[in-house]
């Protein structure tokens, strides 16, 4: 079962002679691709491989979708910051991001991430500066 818990992309099939609820649950929890209660026969391997490939494609698609959603969030945040700073509409803000990414030869997500990071750093620095200015302007007792 240890083999099944390693972060390797390979199918692991478990062929057993009889069913055991505890072993079945442990195999599923360990990530076994297939738990087959029957003799090991070559014709049983094709469905196991097909199922493994289907699940691998689903995992890859889910991972890609999550990555795209996170990128979209960063782009939307940068677009919002650009709109606020420049008083422009969404299309103009996106055009600025797109143009900057082309000019720099970077992906639009990288440019958007840089804008968001810079805004966060500036925001934090301004807050610290305001707090320090406020503290020093207070009369001392």
Provide the CATH topology of domain 68-141. Answer: Arc Repressor Mutant, subunit A (1.10.10)
| Mean pLDDT over each residue of the chain, to the nearest integer | 83
How many residues are there in the chain? 141
73 and 116 in contact (C-beta within 8 Å)? no
64 and 40 in contact (C-beta within 8 Å)? no
Burial string for 95-119 (b: 16+ CB within 10 Å, else e) reads ebbeebbeeeeeebbebbbebbeeb
Predicted local distance difference test score (pLDDT) of residue 136? 58
Query: How confident is the model over 79-134, as pLDDT tens digits?
Result: 999 998 889 999 999 999 999 999 999 999 999 999 999 998 888 776 776 666 65
pTM: 0.62
What's the whole-number mean pLDDT along residues 2-24? Answer: 71
Which residues lie across from 14 on neighbouring strands? Answer: 35
Q: Where are the domains of the chain?
A: 68-141
């Amino acid at each position: 079962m240890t083999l099944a818990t390693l972060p390797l992309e390979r199918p692991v099939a478990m062929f057993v002679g009889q069913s055991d609820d505890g072993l079945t649950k442990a195999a599923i929890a360990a990530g076994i691709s297939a738990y087959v209660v029957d003799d090991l026969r070559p014709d049983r391997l094709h469905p196991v491989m097909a199922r493994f490939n289907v699940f691998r494609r689903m995992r890859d698609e889910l991972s890609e979708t999550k990555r795209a959603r996170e990128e979209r969030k960063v782009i939307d945040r940068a677009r919002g910051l650009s709109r606020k700073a420049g008083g422009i509409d969404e299309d103009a803000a996106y055009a600025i991001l797109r143009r900057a990414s082309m000019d720099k030869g970077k992906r639009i997500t990288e440019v958007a991430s840089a804008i968001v990071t810079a805004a966060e750093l500036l925001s934090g620095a301004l807050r610290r500066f305001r707090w320090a200015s406020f503290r020093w302007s207070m009369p001392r007792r």
